[in-house]
Structure 1
Amino acid sequence: MVELWPLFLHFLTLSLLSIGGAITTAPEMHRYLVGERHWLSDTQFTSSIALAQAAPGPNILFVAVLGWNIAGWAGACAAMAGIMLPSTTLVLAATRWAQRNQASLGVRAFKAGVAPITLGLLIATGWLLAEPYLREPAQRWAILALMSATVALTLKTRLSLVWMVLAGGALGALGWV
């Protein structure tokens, strides 16, 4: 039986660390849910994120899918409430304050400093999601090629990321990666 209170509290804590979105805390979610609590397997965790990212709607849906896979409706509600409450409250208060003080050196410095942190967290998340497939010799080169092509297309073209996600899904459905 899953204890909902620790699930809620962990996601509550992660909410304040999710600069750039909840997906940036996926490595810590993985450590806690898979490594420490053993509520999910590595495959269940990765599949939960993939399913939620493929579905239409906000990216935060993966938190609800993780919670659902742990404890059904109660787990989904505990995880979503935990991840949403602190960050939503903080963002509302901070946005109002920053709007009134947008010319402040501190506000400008904060905006400039958060960008590299977000990029680093997103790279860590991408690595976490790719790592299980990179360990498989049969898939390693296809995954590395797909990752390289995605990075190159992102940096060199204005192609929407949606098309790259669809192409990756199509390649996966055909069994090429």
Structure 2
Amino acid sequence: MTTDLERPPVSARYTVWQLVRYMLALGTWGFGGPVALVGYMYRDLVERRGWISESDYKEGLALAQLMPGPLAAQLSIYLGFVHHGLIGATVVGLAFVLPSFFMVVALGAAYVAYGGIGWMQAVFYGVGAAVIGIIAMSAYKLTTKSIGKDKLLWAIFLISAAVTVITKSEVVWVFLGAGVLVWLWRAPPKFGRSLNSFAAPVAAWLTLDAIDWHKLGQIGAYFAYAGTFVFGSGLAIVPFLYGGVVKEYAWLTDRQFVDAVAVAMITPGPVVITTGFIGYLVGGFWGAVVAALATFVPCYLFTVIPAPYFKKYGKRPAIVAFVDGVTAAAIGAITGAVIVIGQRSITDWITAALALVTVAVLWRFKKFPEPVIVLTAALLGLLLHPMLSHS
């Protein structure tokens, strides 16, 4: 008997290895954190290459927002699953995460060997500002493409953005509430069969609560807990990690934790890879491996287990309405995250100018390579930050 996970997917216009190569490149050069990364995936895989359909992308984004764990990593896993099943989800997810993992391990080794990385703050001074411009453009494209002129979706978008700005986090109940609201508005259930079909995938997601990560040891148990119960993008895990790593276990000092977050922000790939850097500082190379695995394995399971149900039921009017509502809330949260991150990265007129120039360049030159912008901003940061700090 063939299970949903083993059933052959529909034919694709690309091979799994083409998608793996793309994710390796995105994991190597994709700066900007989760907001920018999901925008890159939309631009490259939906708009430019046409490998992924608009509906599949929206389903993946909705699932990534509903499930705990890092947003961009879960979206990459789902996109791997769309046409290539469980194997595609596994190799594509690994391809996305591994480049940044090796980078943070190398930086962790340098950090331990040389007693901190002073230039990191200077680099982030420039890169952080440029990244705000990049993710602002990504949020703009997602908003105009996915929400259109639908007044209900615009209301959800604005409320979700406001909640994100006020709470400085992404609230899963906003996504769920938005999905249910649009579902009830557009395709109210005829109580009975349709309600049961809607509940089926939700019931399947909840079975993951029984997974026991405590066998991985203290580091593994803590980071598995973080990966299992923190909702929202990779940025949402940062305050959660601070409470455990600094306050509860005292594995790192405040300064070391700030440096760990800076490492995640100045390296490409998912922000959550900061767990690899923290793991290295706490337990060396194997500490990094255990911390990264413990963080990403839950998000992998939370994606591939409900994915077949999303594919099976995703075209029904009730599910389409639910996904549209969640997508509107997700894009609102992404837009709100631009403001939250901007408050931390835009600290003076120089960083404000860098962000505005980045937006102007990307607006004028649609295919301008973001790595060039990030590298230029990093060099400007190295040049200007020491001068400003001594003035």
Band the TM-score falls in, shorter-chain normalisation: 0.7 to 0.9
DSSP 3-state at the match of 1:161: coil
Partner amino acid, structure 2, of 1:86: P
Structure 1 residues without counterparts, runs of 5 or longer: none
Indicate yes or no: 2:147 matched with 1:134. Answer: yes
Call closer, same or farther: CA 1:160–1:25 in 2, change over 3 Å: closer
Partner of 2:182: 172
Deviation of the 1:42 alpha carbon: 1.2
| From 57, 64, 71, the counterpart of 1:45 | 57
Partner of 2:116: 102
| From 130, 134, 143, the counterpart of 2:153 | 143
Call closer, same or farther: CA 1:70–1:24 in 2, change over 3 Å: farther
Deviation of the 1:98 alpha carbon: 4.2
Report the more deviating stretch, 63-72 or 23-32.
Answer: 23-32
Deviation of the 1:52 alpha carbon: 2.1
Partner of 1:12: 24
* Greater RCO structure (CA 8 Å; 6+ sep): 2
| From 159, 162, 167, the counterpart of 1:158 | 167
Call closer, same or farther: CA 1:48–1:103 in 2, change over 3 Å: closer
1:23/1:122 contact within 8 Å kept: yes
2:39/2:139 contact within 8 Å kept: no
Report the more deviating stretch, 49-58 or 28-37.
Answer: 28-37
Indicate yes or no: 2:85 matched with 1:72. Answer: yes
Deviations 1:126-148 (A, max 9, x none): 3344333433x3x1x33333333
After TM superposition, which residue ranges in structure 1, 4 or more long, deviate above 4 angstroms? none
For 2:181 and 2:168, the matched residues in 1 are separated by 18
Partner amino acid, structure 2, of 1:168: A
Deviations 1:1-58 (A, max 9, x none): 5322221111101002333435522233223322344322112112211112212333
User: Which structure would you say has the larger Rg?
Assistant: 2
Q: TM-score by structure 2 length?
A: 0.39
Identity of aligned residues (%): 26
Q: TM-score by structure 1 length?
A: 0.77
Call closer, same or farther: CA 1:41–1:113 in 2, change over 3 Å: same
Aligned residues: 172
